[in-house]
Amino acid sequence: MATKGEQFAGLTVALVTPFRDGEVDYAALRKLVDWHIEQGTDCLAPVGTTGESPTLDHDEHERVIAAVVEQAAGRIRIMAGTGSNCTKEAIRLTRFAKRVGADGTLQVGPYYNKPTQEGYYRHFATIAEAVDIPQILYNIPGRTGSNILPETVARLAEIPQIVGIKEASGSMDQASQILSLCNLTLLSGDDSLTLPLLSLGGRGVVSVVGNIVPRDMKALLAAFERGDIAEAQAWHRKLFPLCRDMLGVATNPIPIKTAMKLLGRGTAEFRLPLCPLDATGEARVRRTLQEYGLLPRE
């Protein structure tokens, strides 16, 4: 059975949103796009969780998508984050993303209002009916407070515009059920679970650590794709501490932005309620980067 959404297989990086003096730093954002193109990243997902979408106003949300698409200029695919817990708002953002030329959109499960499974279905189906653009579901119960069940995903998979799912429930059983029920392209929503999900039939990852080591994440994916399981396992073991600490030291994207600052690639500036790490947390991120070989040991 052919897989829908093959164009989104591979490495998608959940792009950070750089800030400077409280405002979006669009010049820095454009440089990040160029850097990822140089690194060989397959796709960028701006304005998702890692892009701090909850603290961007509507105008900024649109401007970030437009800037990334414009800078990409067709050189890299763009999967714009246009989800919302308000269906009307998600449609508005999705229409905007299509209008400016995004290749697809990432649709997070409605957060806080915790819809029923029928509510999930109607939400995503309504967006798909309103906007003819490839859409990737995003299931992350730890953020939304509710789980999109595999049976609901299978119903949604029958809709032509819905082509994939970023699965971040952390459950291998749930991923297995999704893959057995439908033909969506399944992407890992957790860096550390990329290899396990590939072994089940997943086709890639929407990555946080890809903000700093996209080539290494691509090497893991490529090794698995060509059947070199030993090399894929070696990359998994190397990447695992980095994956763990970029999500475990504090709430995403605090650690990854801190890492980028330490590597000379950002300001580690946030908007409340997110705030910088304390000295202990930053020291832990520094040690992780040193142990990986990204910073010299002191």
Instruction: Please count the other Cβ atoms lying within 10 Å of the Cβ belonging to residue 59.
Output: 8
Pair 231, 221: CB distance under 8 Å: no
Establish whether 166 is a catalytic residue: yes
**Residue 297 in tokens:** 């040991």
User: Do 204 and 12 form a contact (C-beta atoms < 8 A)?
Assistant: yes
Torsion (CA) 243, 249, 250, 251 in degrees, nearest 10: 10
CB 179: neighbour CB atoms within 10 A?
20
Could you please report the per-residue DSSP string of 134-168?
Answer: -EEEEE-HHHHSS---HHHHHHHTTSTTEEEEEE-
Q: Per the residue annotation, which of 138, 218, 257, 292 is the catalytic one?
A: 138
| 152's tokens | 């609901």
Q: How many residues does the chain have?
A: 298
Q: Could you say which of 26, 98, 120, 166 is catalytic?
A: 166
Active-site residue, 121 included = no
d(CA 153, CA 151): 5
State the residue for tokens 């189906």. Answer: 125
In order, the DSSP letters of 223-239 are HHHTT-HHHHHHHHHHH
Distance CA 274, CA 52 (A): 9
Going by C-beta distance under 8 Å and a sequence separation of 6 or more, which residues neighbour residue 257? 16, 266, 268, 269, 270
Q: Which residues are catalytic?
A: 138, 166
